[in-house]
Amino acid sequence: MASTALGRRLVACLLNVSEARRKDLVESVARAAIYDPGGARREGTTVLNIFNDRDYNRSVITIVASIDSIRESVLCACEEACRLIDMRVHQGGHPCMGAVDLVPIYPLGEEVAVEDCVREARAVAAGLTERVPGTSAFLFGWADAPLQRSLARRRREMGWFRKVPDVQAATPDVGPQPQKRYGLTGVGASPYVMNCNITIRTQDVVLGRSIAAAIRESTPGGLPGVQVLALRHEGAVEIACNVESVPGSPPRWRPAAATGEPWPTFGVGGRTFCHVPASLIAQRVAELAGRSGVAVGGAALAGFTPTRCAALAERALSLGVAEFWKERRGVHM
């Protein structure tokens, strides 16, 4: 990642909250991350982007701060979200279990150790359940010691993928048995995970699921690190991908119609990671959809690539801009 960001020991939290239709509410959550209760700005903290999806009724807030200050920023944002979002009345097209559905912490430079991220993620989980009585959390990734189970696996175990999740039947790692008011929050740490969504111009969700299965990492010939769902979205079908960074240098293997774009690489704690380019995912989806005579619509990132996130964070913090999202209302490929 950008070397200029390393000295700040930056980390990113792509906070997923179960609200997008009330943008003022979501912006209130974002501001809670960057201003203290008295209105004073938290130094060295910025919100780079707010990605709202009205149909899903879900928003992703990209918070960046140093590893030493990320905990308080994220906890304050979570408190505000829990105060304002009631899962008993939530409706949306995206699977979810909590008012704060996901709290992933990603290192943005070599100087941030895995152990630092584990410490902060576990502290966020404990802090949330202490500050907001009735909240509960499960752990994933590096924070899920010693098993280090993936987010996808932990979500399956908690029932997140069910059509109607029974949050009160889940067994949390931290906090009491989940309540309907707040639901259940996933908290973890890992190498950066990019969110890439591609629309196919059809209402055939069965076709969407076949495309999702074909590009999923677990499928022979699938794309490394890609976890994917096919969801109905605004009268079409969206191929919604979590693109996990994988250890090592970019693989020599390429699909037959590769884009030629290099696989971005970065380092964490002395280890090299890489991730599939979004353009390659989009091209693969277009190829598979095209076999059924279906065209691809728009494609979007619900946040940034890891290298872009680090570079924008350095820019925002150097300029002293806390509400950076106001300069970037949406990020599209």
Domains of the chain in sequence order: 3-191+306-326 (3.30.990.10), 193-301 (3.30.70.670)
Answer whether residue 50 shows pLDDT above 60.
yes
Task: Kindly report the backbone phi and psi dihedral angles of residue 206, in degrees, each rounded to the nearest multiple of 5, phi listed first.
Answer: -65, -45
Confidence of residue 249 (pLDDT cuts 50, 70, 90): confident
How far, rounded to the nearest angstrom, does the alpha carbon of residue 131 sit from its chain's CA centroid?
A: 23
Answer whether residue 255 shows pLDDT above 60.
no
Answer whether residue 325 shows pLDDT above 90.
yes
How far, rounded to the nearest angstrom, does the alpha carbon of residue 299 sit from its chain's CA centroid?
A: 16
Phi-psi region of 77 (alpha: psi -120 to 50; beta: other; left: phi over 0): alpha
What distances in angstroms separate CA 281 from CA 36, 150, 246, one per listed residue? 40, 21, 15
Answer whether residue 98 shows pLDDT above 90.
yes
Mean pLDDT calculated for residue range 41-50: 96
The token duo for 244 is 């996990």
pTM of the predicted protein model: 0.93
Answer whether residue 333 shows pLDDT above 60.
no
User: Which of the residue ranges 11-25, 103-117, 254-268, 292-306 would you say has the lowest mean pLDDT?
Assistant: 254-268
Predicted local distance difference test score (pLDDT) of residue 328: 57
Question: Within 10 A of 292 (CB to CB), how many other CB atoms are there?
Answer: 12
Predicted local distance difference test score (pLDDT) of residue 253: 54
What distances in angstroms separate CA 324 from CA 78, 88, 225, 267, one per listed residue? 19, 32, 29, 25
Say whether the peptide bond before residue 172 is cis (omega within 30 degrees of 0): no
Beta-ladder partners of 187:
103, 139
User: Which of the residue ranges 187-201, 244-258, 299-313 would you say has the lowest mean pLDDT?
Assistant: 244-258
Predicted local distance difference test score (pLDDT) of residue 163: 84
Query: Are the C-beta atoms of residues 185 and 103 closer than 8 Å to each other?
Result: yes
Nearest alpha carbon to residue 110 among 264, 12, 5, 250: 5
